[in-house]
Amino acid sequence: MVTQAKIPAQLDSRIELSGGLAIFRFILDRDFVFSPGQYATLWLTHRSKTLARPYSIASSPSERRVLEFYINLVKEGELTPSLWQAEVIDGLRTQNPETRAAVTGPKGRFVLDPGEARDLVFIASGTGLAPFLSMIRKLREDYRASPNDLPERRIYLIHGVSYPSHLGYREELEQLAFETLKDAGRLAFLYFPTISRPFMDSSWTGLKGRAETLVDFSPLRKSGPPILEDSIRSMFYALLRPETHVVYVCGYPGTIDRVMGALRQRRFRLDADIKREKYYP
């Protein structure tokens, strides 16, 4: 068994999006080479106690000395509560000898197949968005560098969260969707954020429901006024075929299982047409 060397990491920035949800960017002492979709293990030492936890990488692999993590606070967890302690955060920023971080990796097979020509459907719940951010950022960089050398492709991203404030990276994703629509080039990106608790925020006028409900192909309502969710479900029902689309899904186990159940009814095969990455607390 090969033991991976730890790469020292200094906290560069921490952006809290909502209570218990934050983006962490670490600067590394040396290059960290990975494929979009993989994860790294973050090692945190504070007051002589060391904890480790794997996190999917949100940053692009072109940032070879930066790793970005999209982290949800798990109050009963071992490591994440420390990342919400002011003393720990200050120590990571100032490189206090008693508080230090390191990373090992990368690991994971939840990556894009370089020979895949089908359109991509990404379905994420919560911080399961992270590996898709890395994939999307790299695809965008590749397209901008050589727009005529890449296959014509559409990318559909469904991101389900509880509240609008939990839609991490929303501005970046909306901007990318706008850019590809305006550019009308070979790369098209479509973004579908959806909220499972819209009653908590009356200002939300977008899609409602969990991420997996948009690919729930049970019969639609036959009466009542039309609703946006039914229109999107109808679109995906007409669109998604294993011959033309490959689906990646990441997030809570319930999201994974329900998406797989729905797509298997449409002849999607596990591993060949559906790729999955489960997140556990």
The burial class, CB within 10 Å (0-12 / 13-18 / 19+), for 125 is buried
Q: What would the pLDDT profile of 31-53 be if each residue is shown by its tens digit?
A: 999 999 999 999 999 999 999 99
What's the pLDDT band for 281 if we cut at 50, 70, 90? very low
Same domain, 46 and 172: no
Cis peptide before 225, with omega less than 30 degrees from 0? no
Domain that holds residue 47: 7-107
Q: What would the pLDDT profile of 60-108 be if each residue is shown by its tens digit?
A: 999 999 999 999 999 998 899 999 999 999 999 998 989 999 999 999 9
For residue 18, is pLDDT > 70?
Answer: yes
DSSP string, 60-112: -TT-TTEEEEEEE--TTSSSGGGGG-HHHHHHHHHT-TTEEEEEEEEE-----
| Residue 256 domain-assigned (yes or no) | yes
pTM of the complete model:
0.93
| Residue 23 belongs to domain with CATH number | 2.40.30.10
For residue 1, is pLDDT > 70?
Answer: no
Domain boundary among 65, 82, 107: 107
Question: What are 264's two structure tokens?
Answer: 């298997």
Same domain, 101 and 123: no
Question: What are 131's two structure tokens?
Answer: 């590996």
| Residue 27 domain-assigned (yes or no) | yes
Same domain, 103 and 124: no
Same domain, 40 and 141: no
What pLDDT is attached to residue 219?
63
Same domain, 124 and 35: no
| 138 secondary structure, DSSP code | H
Same domain, 161 and 259: yes
What pLDDT is attached to residue 146?
86
Q: Please give the tally of structural domains in the chain.
A: 2
| Residue 229 belongs to domain with CATH number | 3.40.50.80
What's the pLDDT band for 221 if we cut at 50, 70, 90? low
Same domain, 80 and 156: no
Q: What would the pLDDT profile of 158-169 be if each residue is shown by its tens digit?
A: 999 999 999 999
Same domain, 68 and 123: no
| Residue 113 domain-assigned (yes or no) | no
DSSP string, 179-240: HHHHH-SSEEEEEEEEES-GGG-TT--SEES-GGGGG--SPPPSSSS--HHHHHHHHHHHH-
| Residue 136 domain-assigned (yes or no) | yes
